[in-house]
């Protein structure tokens, strides 16, 4: 508790509900907050000012919630955002669903109507509670000002426990403006729930033993790592298990960095686009799934793994185990705790000679893929090949760098070709909802999360993604953060145009083209640095110059191929399910 609030409480001087809300967030260690005020939450904003907290005005509430999401992914602390009554609250929905699906702790404050006037057609009134409730893990409605400290603690507990997720704290106008003489003891935090994971649970010991026995017998085991590895901080435990038992590790888009991409046991991305991990899954005789929901993209539209493949699933949410794939062994618990227990159970067992031959095969597959991929990484094509762009990022990003990838093909290209250099969340992609428009706000939140460390933040977004949030370049410049925003400029909604090309053939494009725009010039008008890149030899100098700028964000506008047949890193498996009669003659 701050000195001023303690004094007020000791003397019984009333403070507003909004001030109490700010006070509790400060006690819980809230970092930078993002939002746009309205009358309902004015006392909260005044509390933020009085307490010297950091709050960043955004130009769209979705930007604030996306920035809070990225901040939370990198710090483990709930990101904080707010929206006022009506449109402010409903603008949060898309970003909150991203956090819900991805298991990211976010606390969103929403102002609501004065309860004495509700349903009298108040300005901007909407059924926002009903709209927001399915978009979050829990919606907490504050009905009494004196309960604010208790309910903020509750919000943190829900956001950080089990599978993390977003929580809405809905505050009616009269509650925010009301005053109450809080007691000094009202203001305290439960430190166990101010970051993820709040509390760790262990899988049943007998289930762990069964899983260890199955892994020990396997000749071709494989670990499939999802974003839950990051949420649990299970990197060291995963590496201990993989190295000790000699088990390769493949990852989802959200799981990149579960182990370093350069590690000899890394099998890279699996699912819709894959280096060679899909082939390993198809031939595996035991799969250990960790912190992964086995959704559409990860399973290549539910064709992986093959029916009958022995499956062990470790997840913090019991309901995810066996959702659609037959799972003989389910391990319900925290990823780090479960992996540690598995590693301990497996330590007496040495990998067999068959396992050694398998690992040699994995190394050969890795070397073969690297040889085949070299042409993409080193392409001299003009317009620029996406593979060359990712190759330059691999060469220029330091070990502690953070790459943010917007939804759409930016995340698929980076997920397939980008290599993190150490374990940890060095790659941030909005794969919970895969909404376009995450690139800029994600960079803002990530840059604030690593502020002071010197770690560079680079974000890849499409031109369509930047068009959705370009107004918040002003927000980023005003916030005083520096990051590099790489715009993949193909003058199109690239993924959609590529799919139209694959399904209907050349020339069958509808509502997929954008106007040619110089985003470097646009960046300059926002007071940011702008670099236009049209030749591959210009990529590295532009990236280095942008990453060295520390006084404002930098936009690197990269002109890439306009050929819709080459806009994706591979064949999208969805197009393979179409029958010949589904295509135009």
Clarify whether residues 7 and 142 are in a common domain: yes
Clarify whether residues 383 and 460 are in a common domain: yes
Clarify whether residues 455 and 486 are in a common domain: yes
Clarify whether residues 27 and 120 are in a common domain: yes
- pTM as predicted: 0.96
What phi, psi does 366 have (nearest 5°)? -65, -45
Task: Single out the residue of 162, 164, 99, 196 nearest to residue 332, CA to CA.
Answer: 162
Rounded CA separation 509/521 (Å)? 28
Considering the domain boundaries, does residue 537 fall inside one? yes
Which of 317, 337, 365 is at the close of a domain? Answer: 365
Considering the domain boundaries, does residue 371 fall inside one? no
Report the pLDDT value the prediction gives residue 2, as an integer from 0 to 100: 42
Report the pLDDT value the prediction gives residue 581, as an integer from 0 to 100: 53
Report the pLDDT value the prediction gives residue 578, as an integer from 0 to 100: 62
Clarify whether residues 427 and 545 are in a common domain: yes
Q: How far does Cα 8 stand from its chain's mean position?
A: 40
Considering the domain boundaries, does residue 373 fall inside one? no
Give the three-class secondary structure for 331: strand
Clarify whether residues 456 and 485 are in a common domain: yes
Report the pLDDT value the prediction gives residue 12, as an integer from 0 to 100: 65
- The whole domain housing 300 covers 205-365
List per-residue pLDDT tens for the chain, 585 residues long.
343 444 344 446 799 999 999 999 999 999 999 999 999 999 999 999 999 999 999 999 999 999 999 999 999 999 999 999 999 999 999 999 999 999 999 999 999 999 999 989 888 999 999 999 999 999 999 999 999 999 999 999 999 999 999 999 999 999 999 999 999 899 999 999 999 999 999 999 999 999 999 999 999 999 999 999 999 999 999 999 999 999 999 999 999 999 999 999 999 999 999 999 999 999 999 999 999 999 999 999 999 999 999 999 999 999 999 999 999 999 999 999 999 999 999 998 777 778 899 999 999 999 999 999 999 999 999 999 999 999 999 999 999 999 999 998 899 999 999 999 999 999 999 999 999 999 999 999 999 999 999 999 999 999 999 999 999 999 999 999 999 999 999 999 999 999 999 999 999 999 999 999 999 999 999 999 999 999 999 999 999 999 999 999 999 999 999 999 999 999 998 987 665 455 544
Considering the domain boundaries, does residue 563 fall inside one? yes
Total tally of structural domains belonging to the chain: 3
CATH number at residue 470: 3.40.50.970
Considering the domain boundaries, does residue 137 fall inside one? yes
Considering the domain boundaries, does residue 199 fall inside one? no
Report the pLDDT value the prediction gives residue 184, as an integer from 0 to 100: 87
What is the Rg, in whole angstroms, of the alpha carbon atoms belonging to the chain?
A: 25
Q: E strand or H helix at 542, and its extent?
A: helix 539-548
Query: Helix 61-75 vs helix 439-449: angle between axes, to the nearest 10 degrees?
Result: 40
Clarify whether residues 117 and 166 are in a common domain: yes
Clarify whether residues 400 and 335 are in a common domain: no
| Six-digit token string for 3 | 């000195």
222-275: per-residue pLDDT in tens? Answer: 999 999 999 999 999 999 999 999 999 999 999 999 999 999 999 999 999 999
CATH number at residue 264: 3.40.50.1220
71-110: per-residue pLDDT in tens? Answer: 999 999 999 999 999 999 999 999 999 999 999 999 999 9
For the chain, the average pLDDT equals 95
Contacts for 116 with CB less than 8 Å, ≥ 6 apart: 174
Which of 344, 365, 386 is at the close of a domain? Answer: 365
Clarify whether residues 492 and 409 are in a common domain: yes
Report the pLDDT value the prediction gives residue 55, as an integer from 0 to 100: 98
Clarify whether residues 164 and 291 are in a common domain: no
Task: Single out the residue of 237, 178, 242, 219 nearest to residue 44, CA to CA.
Answer: 178
Q: Are strands 15-16 and 179-180 parallel, antiparallel or unpaired?
A: antiparallel
Contacts for 552 with CB less than 8 Å, ≥ 6 apart: 477, 482, 527, 528, 529
DSSP 342-357: HHHHHTTPPPPHHHHH
| Six-digit token string for 310 | 């022995």
Clarify whether residues 392 and 291 are in a common domain: no
């Amino acid at each position: 508790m701050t000195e001023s609030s303690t004094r007020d409480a000791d003397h019984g001087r009333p403070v507003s509900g909004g001030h109490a809300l700010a006070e509790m967030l400060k006690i819980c260690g809230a970092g930078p907050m993002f939002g746009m005020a309205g009358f309902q939450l004015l006392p909260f904003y005044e509390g933020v000012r009085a307490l010297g907290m950091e709050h960043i005005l955004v130009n769209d509430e979705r930007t604030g919630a996306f920035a809070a999401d990225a901040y939370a992914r990198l710090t483990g602390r709930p990101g904080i955002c707010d929206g006022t009554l009506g449109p402010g609250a409903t603008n949060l929905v898309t970003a909150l669903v991203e956090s819900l699906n991805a298991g990211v702790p976010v606390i969103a404050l929403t102002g609501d109507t004065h309860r004495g006037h509700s349903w009298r057609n108040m300005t901007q009134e909407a059924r926002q509670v009903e709209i927001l409730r399915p978009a979050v893990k829990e919606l907490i409605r504050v009905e009494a000002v004196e309960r604010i400290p208790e309910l903020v603690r509750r919000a943190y507990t829900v956001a950080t426990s089990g599978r993390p997720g977003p929580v809405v704290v809905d505050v009616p106008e009269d509650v925010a403006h009301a005053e109450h003489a809080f007691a000094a003891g009202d203001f305290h935090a439960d430190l166990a729930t101010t970051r993820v994971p709040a509390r760790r649970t262990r899988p049943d010991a007998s289930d762990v033993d069964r899983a260890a026995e199955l892994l020990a017998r396997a000749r071709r085991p494989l670990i499939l790592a999802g974003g839950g590895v990051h949420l649990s901080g299970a990197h060291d435990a995963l590496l201990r298990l993989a190295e000790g038992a000699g088990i390769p590790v493949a990852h989802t888009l959200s799981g990149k960095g579960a182990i370093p991409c350069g590690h000899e046991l890394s099998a890279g991305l699996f699912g819709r686009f894959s280096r060679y991990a899909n082939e390993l899954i198809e031939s595996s005789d035991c799969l250990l799934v960790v912190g992964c929901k086995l959704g559409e993209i990860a399973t290549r539209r539910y064709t992986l793994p093959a029916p009958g493949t022995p499956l062990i699933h470790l997840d913090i949410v019991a309901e995810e185990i066996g959702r659609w794939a037959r799972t003989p062994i389910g391990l319900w618990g925290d990823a780090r705790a479960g992996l540690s227990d598995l590693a301990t159970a497996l330590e007496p067992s040495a990998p067999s000679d068959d396992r050694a031959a398998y690992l040699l095969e994995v190394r050969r597959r890795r070397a073969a893929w690297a040889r085949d991929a070299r042409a993409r990484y080193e392409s001299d094509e003009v317009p620029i090949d996406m593979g060359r762009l990712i190759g330059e990022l691999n060469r220029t990003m330091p070990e502690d760098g953070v790459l943010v990838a917007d939804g759409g093909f930016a995340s698929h290209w980076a997920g397939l070709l980008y290599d993190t250099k150490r374990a940890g969340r060095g790659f941030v992609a909005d794969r919970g909802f895969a909404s376009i428009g995450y690139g800029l706000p994600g960079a803002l939140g990530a840059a604030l999360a690593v502020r002071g460390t010197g770690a560079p933040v680079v974000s890849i977004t499409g031109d369509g993604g930047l068009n959705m949030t370009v107004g918040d370049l002003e927000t980023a410049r005003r916030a005083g953060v520096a990051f590099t925003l790489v715009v993949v400029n193909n003058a199109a909604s690239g993924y959609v145009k590529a799919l139209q090309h694959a399904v209907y053939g050349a020339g069958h494009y509808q509502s997929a083209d954008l106007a040619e725009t110089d985003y470097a010039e646009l960046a300059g008008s926002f007071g940011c640095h702008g670099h236009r890149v049209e030749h591959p030899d210009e990529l590295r100098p532009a990236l280095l110059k942008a990453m060295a700028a520390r006084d404002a964000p930098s936009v690197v506008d990269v002109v890439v191929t306009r050929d819709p047949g080459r806009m994706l890193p591979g064949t999208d498996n969805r197009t393979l399910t179409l029958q010949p009669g589904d295509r135009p003659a």
